């Protein structure tokens, strides 16, 4: 069975600081990996996805993630946080075959001025 | 494309009443998913369909919950009878395959059962 673990339910950064949200996955087959963002009272929006092409994936809003098989990780980063990045972020994994995504528990990003 | 459309956005109902949530997926997507989100349990997959056929309903909490997809452009999630512990935000999502793989979520239905 596949799973993802998101380290830290809350991450606080200052505006302009580096954002690093951690995700580790478990999968018996080469995984497809995703990051989603959820703003208050909204649905989840796809930030980026890894589907076995380039290991460094660039997404929307300046976010990127790197697939590291040796570390079973897919951490999300952004060089400089903006107030508008405050939201909840979800990592998710799929084996691709059955199209079912398994989500992590989420990390709430807080950005202070 | 208007995205995944869910209705209603908010639903308040009394315990014991029937509740029906609706979803219109993105045209051309052949997978549709129903999720429930609560503070306690996070995002839970309830059921998903492929080409209108239910594939996995192991996440449906109990027999009070049922879901249908009569055609490629419409799905319903029904709770009968509803209970206060069903209060949550229910999301519908759809996806295609290959390069188009990646869930698109609706805005959700916030259900409150009093």
Rounded to whole angstroms, how far apart are CA atoms B33 and A105?
18
Q: CB-CB: which of A45, A100, A102 is closest to B48?
A: A100
Contact A43/B48, CB-based, under 8 Å?
no
pLDDT tens digit string along A30-58?
888 999 999 988 889 999 999 877 889 99
Q: What residues of chain A, 1 to 40, have a C-beta less than 8 Å from chain B? A: 32, 34, 36
List A3's β-bridge partners, or say none: A26
pLDDT at res. B8: 97
pLDDT value, residue B99: 64
Q: In b/e form, how buried is each residue of B87-98, taking b as 16+ CB within 10 angstroms?
A: bbbbbbbbbbee
State the pLDDT at residue B38. Answer: 93
Q: Which residue has the higher pLDDT, A97 or B113?
A: B113
pLDDT at residue number A54: 85
The answer on pLDDT for A98 being more than 80 is: no
Picking from A42, A51, A106, the nearest residue to B42 by CB comes out as A106
Q: List, for residues A2-33, the tens digit of each pLDDT value.
A: 899 999 999 999 999 999 999 999 987 788 89
Q: Quick one: pLDDT at residue A81?
A: 97
**How much is the pLDDT for A94?**
86
Cβ contact B93:B4 at 8 Å:
yes
Closest CB to B105: pick one of A44, A96, A99. A44
Low-confidence ranges of chain B (pLDDT < 50): none
* Exposure string over B33-54, b if 16+ CB within 10 A, otherwise e: bbbbbeeeeebebbbbbeeeee
């Amino acid at each position: 069975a596949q799973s993802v673990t998101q380290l830290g339910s809350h991450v606080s950064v200052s505006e302009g600081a580096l954002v690093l949200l951690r995700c580790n996955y478990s999968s018996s087959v080469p995984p497809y990996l995703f990051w989603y963002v959820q703003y208050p009272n909204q649905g989840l929006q796809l930030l980026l996805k890894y589907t076995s092409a380039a290991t460094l994936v660039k997404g929307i809003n300046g976010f990127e993630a790197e697939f590291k098989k040796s570390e079973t990780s897919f951490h999300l980063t952004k060089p400089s946080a903006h107030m508008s990045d405050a939201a909840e972020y979800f990592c998710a994994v799929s084996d691709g075959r059955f199209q079912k995504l398994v989500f992590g528990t989420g990390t709430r990003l807080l950005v202070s001025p | 494309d208007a995205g995944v459309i869910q209705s209603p956005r908010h639903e308040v109902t009394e315990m014991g009443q029937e509740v029906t949530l609706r979803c219109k997926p993105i045209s051309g997507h052949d997978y549709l998913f129903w999720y429930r989100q609560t503070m306690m349990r996070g995002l839970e997959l309830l059921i998903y369909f492929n080409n209108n056929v239910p594939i996995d309903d192991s996440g449906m909490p109990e027999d009070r919950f049922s879901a249908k997809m009569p055609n490629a452009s419409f799905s319903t999630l029904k709770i009968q009878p509803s209970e206060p512990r069903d209060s949550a935000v229910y999301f519908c999502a759809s996806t295609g395959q290959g390069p188009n793989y990646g869930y698109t979520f609706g805005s959700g239905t916030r259900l409150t059962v009093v």
